[in-house]
Structure 1
Amino acid sequence: MGGGSITSLESSLADILTPRLLALLVKHRLPYHKAAKINFSHFGRNIFLIDPFAPLIRERVWPVLITLSKIGLDGMPDLTTYLPPPLDPTFPVQCLGLLLLLDHCPRLLFRGIDHRWTYAYFSQISQRVAESWYNLPKGMRPDTWERWHNDFGAELDYWIGVRFWFGTPFVHSERLEHQEIGIKLTEETRTKVEEVSGETDPYRAQRNEVLGDIYGFPREYRRGPPQGKGVTREGWTFWMGMLMDIHKPIIDRFGRYPYLNGICGREWRDGEEEWVKEVKHFGEADQDVVRRVKDDVRLGKWTPLGSDSLSLWWK
């Protein structure tokens, strides 16, 4: 999977996975004062409807992702070894930055056949990192309210954003055990917001429907985040929790996301093609891209990262 010496590539990781880069990703993805109130209509719009983030980080991030793409999944070292120790005060920000680099940046920056790298490569690496931090003792975990509030002075608004980004690698995963972790994380966030606000998440009354609706994620994603002056912190968090949770029914039913079959070069399994038709081909790759991926899979190769994306970003 790419040329060059793996040893030399690995030795260069410390030079590119720098504390400055990882902190910069967090700063641009959460561009709010940690103790300030956040406009959650603005927050949701910047994630789902527009993209102010990618233009700020693409020049710094592309060389790092290309370097990582040349190592291969089997040869990839434990990237958490490039983070500070878990009890270091900078660990939460650095860990979050690494997750944004691996799980989020490819989804924003890659186009065409490059998205095979998003779902079949970088998602796998981000999930390894996510498992690593999640399995730490509670006092060492980088996502907790206590660490962000006590060490960084973060208030609830900012921590809600932090928890959203820490949870996405699990929600994006096609492994059921990861989906179950995602459900636990969402419930913890939901409960904290309910405790502080005194409000009850209205989706609790629809819990069975949310966790049993295999068509819910495409429908709610297309509907988009709450927008307008009436959007509250609580309303946005409860909606976001529902959106995170509603991924799981698809994995419960199929064991994977059927709309990723084409970009991952996979064949259809029972019921998947009918599901994709029912959701009007939500999230599917262009058929020309699917053909090219299948050719790569058949030949046992990967089209180099950047082949479809770099010319678009720097026209």
Structure 2
Amino acid sequence: MLSKLIIRMSITNTMALSEEILNFWFRGFTSETDYIKETGSFWWRTPPEVAEQMRNLVGNELENALEGRHDDWTETPRGTLALILLLDQWTRSIFKGTPAAFAGDLKAQAITLDAINKGFDKQLWPIQRSFLYMPLEHSELLEHHDLMLRLMNGLVEEARGDVKPIMEGFTRFEIMHRDLIVRYGRYPHRNPILGRQSTPDEEEYLKINPNPF
């Protein structure tokens, strides 16, 4: 009986964490237009103090997510989004400049594809869907970028009001990422971090674009 109670408490706590992650990332706003103006720099240029807040919020649960201990979150659209944020965004902020920054990529990509197959993406706001799809943009597989571009073009068509130009911006950013994959087959700026040897063409690119994103 006690063991069952402990299990239930553990499940409740981790699901509560998934909502905390969403509230942190989307700043607790309850409508899409409210947080669009508040979050741009927060999302794209995470300062060290915010990265520290992200680490403090999740503790060792990021490592647990990487090890598959929160895969049950994928049973709901919001839980799936929270897990993808952990694997795709938290890693990049907390482990920036190290190989661990990309440790969740393959898992996040698989979860994204599964969520799309389930139709979970259709149950989220366009901005939230953009982050659900983001692992495809971070992928080094061209097929993922082709899918990402189709999905983002669809969001541009669906979006209304202040949301539409934001979706157009997301789409332009995806095109920039896709162009790199078409040209190099990978992201050159990851080479030094991952210990990959850059080609002469990549070295020239990195001289001009040391920090492309």
Shorter-chain TM-score tier:
0.7 to 0.9
- SS of the residue corresponding to residue 256 of structure 1 reads coil
Q: Please give the alpha-carbon distance, in whole angstroms, between the structure 1 residues aligned to 2:13 and 2:80.
A: 11
Identical pairs, percent: 22
Q: Please give the alpha-carbon distance, in whole angstroms, between the structure 1 residues aligned to 2:109 and 2:80.
A: 12
Aligned position for 1:130? 112
Is 1:253 the counterpart of 2:183 in the alignment?
yes
Is 1:21 the counterpart of 2:21 in the alignment?
no
Aligned position for 2:171? 241
Aligned position for 1:282? 211
For 2:104, give the aligned amino acid: F
Q: Which runs of 5+ in 1 are unaligned?
A: 1-13, 72-76, 86-90, 149-158, 198-231, 285-315
Structure 1 range deviating more: 29-38 or 46-55:
46-55
Q: Which runs of 5+ in 2 are unaligned?
A: 1-9
* Higher helix proportion (structure 1 or 2): 2
What pairs with 1:41-120 in structure 2 (closer than 5 Å)? 41-51=37-47, 54-67=51-64, 80=71, 82-83=72-73, 85=75, 91-112=76-97, 115-119=98-102
The 3 A distance-change label for structure 1 pair 41 and 34 is closer
Residues 208-261 of structure 1 deviation map (CA, whole Å, 9 limit, x = unaligned): xxxxxxxxxxxxxxxxxxxxxxxx433333222211222101001111001101
Q: Please give the alpha-carbon distance, in whole angstroms, between the structure 1 residues aligned to 2:92 and 2:133.
A: 15
TM-score of the superposition, structure 1-length normalised?
0.57
TM-score of the superposition, structure 2-length normalised?
0.82
Determine if contact 1:28/1:53 at 8 Å carries over to the other structure: no
The 3 A distance-change label for structure 1 pair 67 and 94 is closer
Determine if contact 2:94/2:101 at 8 Å carries over to the other structure: no
Is 1:143 the counterpart of 2:128 in the alignment?
no
Residues 274-306 of structure 1 deviation map (CA, whole Å, 9 limit, x = unaligned): 111122x2269xxxxxxxxxxxxxxxxxxxxxx
Residues 116-156 of structure 1 deviation map (CA, whole Å, 9 limit, x = unaligned): 0112x21122112112212x2xxx32211xx24xxxxxxxx
- SS of the residue corresponding to residue 38 of structure 1 reads helix
What pairs with 1:171-210 in structure 2 (closer than 5 Å)? 171-193=137-159, 196-197=160-161
* Aligned equivalent of 1:271, options 188, 194, 201: 201
For 2:60, give the aligned amino acid: P
